[in-house]
Structure 1
Amino acid sequence: MKNTLKITLKPGEKIYVNGAVICADRKVSLEFLNDVQFLLENHVMQPEAARTPLRQLYFIVQIMLMSPQEAEDARAMFRKSLPRLIDSFSSATIRADLKQIDQLVAEGQVYDAMKMLRALFPLEDKILGATPLPFRSAPQPQLLAGE
C-alpha cells in the first residue's frame, strides 16, 4: 500500500491541488491517499519576487504546478530558459543542480524541482549580492488564469 500524506491547514490558509485553489475556513487536516500535485501557500512566489534568474525559473516551474492549463507553455519556456541559465552560472553546484532540476521536470516531479530551486536561492543571493524577497508579498489569486 502507498504511503499517505497528511497536511494540516490553518484557518484562511490555501493549498493548490492539481490546479485547484482550496482555502480552509477553519483548521482542517487533509489526507492524500494517492499521488497528487500540490503546493502550499507559503511556497507560492509572487511575480514581483521573481527578480533573479533562479527565481524566474522557479516561477515558471510554479506555473506548471498551479495552472495545468498553462503547463505546456510553461514547459516550453522552461526548455528555452534552462540552457541559457546553466551557461550563465560558473558555480559547479548550481550548474549540476540545474541539470538535476531539468531531469525532475522531465519526469513530472515538479514539486521536487521547485524544492531544489528554493535550496539554491541563498547561493544565488550570495553570488548576485541580492537581498532576498519573501515569497508572499501580496494577495495571491491573480496568479491563476481563469479565476
Structure 2
Amino acid sequence: MRAGERIYVNGAVLRVDRKVSLELVNDVMFLLEGQVMQAADATTALRQLYFIVQHMLMNPTDIADAAALYGRHHAALQAVCENQQMLEGLTAIDEMVGASRYYEALKRIRALFPVEQAILAGTATNVPFEAA
C-alpha cells in the first residue's frame, strides 16, 4: 500500500502513513480504497447495486437496512432487465450476497458495468464478459 492509502477491513478504516505491505492471515472482508465507490458515482442502477453491496461489506455488523434495500433494488433490476448476460450475472450476484460473499459479488457487479453501459447506449448485442 502507498502512503496515505486506505483499506477497509471488517468495517474499520485503516490509513497508512508510509508505504507498507499488509498480510491478512485470517478470513476478513476488505476493500482497497480504489475499489470503493463514492455515492456521487452511483449514477446507474448497477452502480447503485454496487454501492449497496459495498455498504454491506464495509459495515458487516449492521447490514439489516442495506440488505433490505439490496433485496428491493435487485428485484427491480431483475424485473426490468431483458439482457441474458445481465440476468445471469444478477442471479450469480444474488447467490453471492445470500452467502455473505460480498467481495465476490462486487467483483461480479464490476464485471457487468460494460454490459450495463452497452445496454444504456443501445449496443448490448455482444459485450465480452470479463471477470473483474
Q: Structure 1-normalised TM-score?
A: 0.80
In structure 1, runs of 5+ residues without a counterpart are 1-8, 131-147
Asked whether the equivalents of residues 63 and 70 of structure 1 are also in contact (C-alpha less than 8 Å), the reply is: no
Aligned residues with identical type, % of pairs: 49
Task: Give runs of aligned pairs for residues 4-83 of structure 1, distance below 5 A.
Answer: 9-83=1-75
Q: When the two structures are aligned, how many residues end up with a matched partner?
A: 122
Deviation of residue 70 (structure 1)?
Answer: 3.5
Q: Structure 2-normalised TM-score?
A: 0.88
In the alignment, the residues of structure 1 paired with residue 22 and residue 64 of structure 2 have an alpha-carbon distance, to the nearest angstrom, of 29
- One-letter amino acid of the counterpart of residue 21, structure 1: V
Structure 2 partner of 1:143: none
Deviation of residue 69 (structure 1)?
Answer: 4.2
In the alignment, the residues of structure 1 paired with residue 112 and residue 49 of structure 2 have an alpha-carbon distance, to the nearest angstrom, of 11
Structure 1 partner of 2:129: none
In structure 2, runs of 5+ residues without a counterpart are 123-132
Structure 2 partner of 1:114: 106
- One-letter amino acid of the counterpart of residue 14, structure 1: R
Which stretches of structure 1, 4 residues or more, deviate above 6 A after TM superposition?
none
Aligned-residue RMSD, C-alpha: 1.3
In the alignment, the residues of structure 1 paired with residue 4 and residue 27 of structure 2 have an alpha-carbon distance, to the nearest angstrom, of 25
